[in-house]
Amino acid sequence: MSFISYLVNGISLGSVYAIIALGYTMVYGIAKMLNFAHGDVIMVGAYVVMTAIASGGLPPAAAVLLAVVFCTILGVVIESVAYRPLLNAASSLAVLITAIGVSYLLQNVALLVFGANTKSFSSVVPVPALVLAGGSLTISGETIVTIVSCIVIMAGLTLFIKKTKAGQAMLAVSEDKGAAQLMGINVNGTIALTFAIGSALAAVAGVLLCSAYPSLNPYTGAMPGIKAFVAAVFGGIGSIPGALIGGILLGVIEIFGKAYISSQMADAIVFGVLIIVLIVKPAGILGKNIQEKV
Amino acid sequence: MAMLEIKDIEVYYGMIQAIKGISFEVNEGEVIALIGANGAGKTTILHTITGLLSPKKGSVIFEGKDITKVPAHKIVSLGMAHVPEGRRVFAELSVYENLKMGAYTRKDKEETAKTLEMVYGRFPRLQERKNQLAGTLSGGEQQMLAMGRALMSHPKIIVMDEPSMGLSPILVNEIFDIIQEVSAGGTTVLLVEQNAKKALSIADRAYVLETGKIVLEGDAEELMNDDSVKKAYLGE
């Protein structure tokens, strides 16, 4: 039974990675940039929830909603203030370095506001644990909610992109910004929308992550952020199903590595697998071979 | 009054001046050809007209309105569609989705459905392949899709950049027949072509470009019989 339990935990952790990876992969697909501050938006979302419940006395559901709204606005502001002026810069490194700067900025503002001490985060998930197989397998409420959230988000996002005008505009912009403009699509608006969606999802991921692993400090978002980035690359950056597959695989490998090999080595195993995948398939599992346009 | 007026535009890429003061006009219902060698600045002019580039000097006037500073994504709803060089269809979208993209700014659903029928009527092959990904189409079909996509916005004027590029002679003829049909349907056409012979054969008037300047202009027929044009562009 422990195997199944590890598997379920791995899928749950992987679901969080997948939700975060969506933000990386969508922004990369549309703006062709890596938003390394994305992980820290998770941390901001978690702090907003914690503060809203503890100091504001809001019910958990309202606190989560507030965090989603807050992070959505934060994402749009980061894009318009820090990245947009650089998107046409001569070097794409300028945006990358700015993203790293924004990441440190968010961490240090959190340090200033909330202090360096790790705070305990009380779970916002009201779902009771599921006890199966006569008590030998327990699946926590957090695990259930995380996996269900991931499925709902994936389905919703896929529908949004396939069925709505704004979603189709995103696809068009990701393929060819110039041609998209000729169709009447506002490219800057589409990029801002992408940041909004990615950051809203980061807030959700932050709440889920901190409910499952109930501690929070200004660096909480950094490692899951890096791992979700790995998941996005793993699955094929720019691909939404790739983010799902990459995230789940990463979560399962991490938990199995911790359980069966070594808990200290788990991260090394995760990144080792990434290196092997990229040697065999440089574009990631579902990644496309990038063709240079003439 | 001309439908489209280009007044004294100068366009730079960094320090390099690509367009050195060009003026011309397109009247309603005309087919105008811009011809010239590679690097003469033909594409640059079209990009300046539809807002993908902005000129350092000069202005672009469309139906009496200065559109020089209007961003590219607001041009199509004014009634100007651009078929870009190299087709630039959305390879990952289906033929149908590409055509819908062409009508992105339109709100009139019923009229848009009629336009779609019209486009399918003009390009039956697009209808046959409407669920196919655009990236899997042949070059000629992609050109038809790029033209159909532009027509979906129901433009008053359509600007086309090298529609014959990379196509076999039979397909080139087919594409030019379609351009004539589009023109006969009441849409004004501004055409940029390296294939000067073909372009002059369907155009009313033409401008000859050389390194960022207009060196010759006039009726297409006259230009076709002009010795310097014959020598430089018609290979005679």
Task: Give the tens place of pLDDT for each residue, A66-93.
Answer: 999 999 999 999 999 999 998 777 677 8
Q: Does B72 touch chain A (CB under 8 A)?
A: yes
CB A28, CB A34: distance < 8 Å: yes
Compute the mean pLDDT over every residue in chain A, rounded to the nearest whole number: 91
- B39-58: b (≥16 Cβ within 10 Å) or e: ebbbbbbbbbbbbbbbbeeb
Alpha carbon distance A68, A45 (integer Å): 7
In this structure, is residue A169 part of a structural domain? yes
In this structure, is residue A79 part of a structural domain? yes
What sections of A133-182 are H helices per DSSP? 141-163, 165-175, 177-182
Q: Which residue does chain B place closest to A186, by CA atoms?
A: B73
In this structure, is residue A118 part of a structural domain? yes
Q: Which of A172, A181, A185 sits opposite B52 (nearest CB)?
A: A181
Compute the mean pLDDT over every residue in chain B, rounded to the nearest whole number: 94
pLDDT value at A294 more than 60: no
B-contacting residues of A 128-167, CB under 8 Å? 165
pLDDT band at A292 (very low <50, low <70, confident <90, very high): very low
Alpha carbon distance A87, A94 (integer Å): 9
Mean pLDDT along residues B94-110: 95
Question: What pLDDT digit, counting tens, does each position of B26-61 carry?
Answer: 999 999 999 998 889 999 999 999 999 999 999 999
pLDDT value at A246 more than 60: yes
Q: Does A176 touch chain B (CB under 8 A)?
A: yes
Alpha carbon distance A232, A209 (integer Å): 18
Joined together, the tokens standing for residue A160 give 């949004």
Percent share of chain B, pLDDT over 90: 90
In this structure, is residue A271 part of a structural domain? no
Q: Judge: A171–B90 Cβ closer than 8 Å, yes or no.
A: yes
**Tell me, what's the ipTM?**
0.92
Q: Judge: B86–A294 Cβ closer than 8 Å, yes or no.
A: yes
**For position A287, what pLDDT does the model report?**
77
What sections of chain B are H helices per DSSP? 42-49, 95-102, 109-122, 124-128, 139-151, 169-184, 196-202, 220-224, 227-233
Joined together, the tokens standing for residue B42 give 């033909």
In this structure, is residue A237 part of a structural domain? no
User: How many domains does the structure of chain A reveal?
Assistant: 1
Model-level pTM greater than 0.95?
no
Q: Does B154 touch chain A (CB under 8 A)?
A: no
Alpha carbon distance B103, A117 (integer Å): 55
**For position A291, what pLDDT does the model report?**
46
Structural domains of chain B in order of their starting residue, each with its CATH number: 1-79+157-236 (3.40.50.300), 88-154 (no CATH)
Alpha carbon distance B233, B40 (integer Å): 13
CB A251, CB A228: distance < 8 Å: no
In angstroms, what separates the C-alpha of A223 from chain B's closest C-alpha?
A: 33
Q: Judge: B74–A294 Cβ closer than 8 Å, yes or no.
A: no
pLDDT value at A136 more than 80: no
Q: Which residue does chain B place closest to A173, by CA atoms?
A: B90
Q: Judge: B97–A168 Cβ closer than 8 Å, yes or no.
A: yes
Owning domain of residue A45: 2-220
